[in-house]
């Protein structure tokens, strides 16, 4: 019997939703085993606790519209300072990317029982 592979296939493997506020909770450098490509994994969490990730592939020079370029332009090159910043992915599509840093959203107050 062959195994069932429980993997979701998506373009770019980023799992963030446009228009949702996310907090950056971790930034880690990774290196792939096969081709030794270097990248930055940005781990995020939304107000409901749903996790998301964005992979930024490192290179010596990048364009302002690339995923890495957008993060560097908006947040700077010191990823330690990215932690606990809140972002909205205004547009996150190939060849068209825009993020915005926002103030930390206030948690929603519990609704009063009637």
Note every long-range contact of 107-110, with CB atoms under 8 Å and residues 24 or more positions apart, other chains counting.
107/47, 108/47
**Global confidence as pTM:** 0.81
Which tens digits make up the pLDDT trace of 81-91?
999 999 999 99
Q: What is the domain partition of the chain in residue ranges?
A: 12-102
* Alpha-carbon torsion, ordered 76, 73, 99, 39, to 10 deg: -70
Specify whether the CB–CB gap between 6 and 88 falls below 8 A. no
The pLDDT, as a whole number, for residue 37 is 87
Judge whether 75 and 82 are in contact, CB under 8 Å.
yes
Q: Note the pLDDT of residue 14.
A: 85
Please give the CATH number for the structural domain made up of 12-102.
2.40.50
Tokens of 102: 């926002």
Q: What per-residue confidence (pLDDT) applies to 19? A: 95
């Amino acid at each position: 019997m062959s195994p069932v592979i429980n993997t979701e296939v998506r373009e770019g493997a980023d799992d963030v939703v446009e228009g949702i506020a996310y907090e950056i909770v971790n930034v880690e450098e990774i290196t792939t085993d096969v081709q030794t490509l270097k990248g930055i994994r940005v781990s995020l969490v939304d107000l409901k606790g749903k996790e998301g990730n964005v992979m930024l592939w490192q290179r010596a020079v990048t364009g302002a519209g690339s995923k890495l370029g957008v993060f560097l332009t908006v947040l700077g090159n010191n990823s330690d300072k990215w932690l606990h910043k809140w972002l909205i992915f205004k547009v996150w599509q190939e060849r068209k990317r825009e993020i915005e840093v926002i103030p930390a959203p206030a948690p929603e107050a519990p609704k009063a029982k009637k």
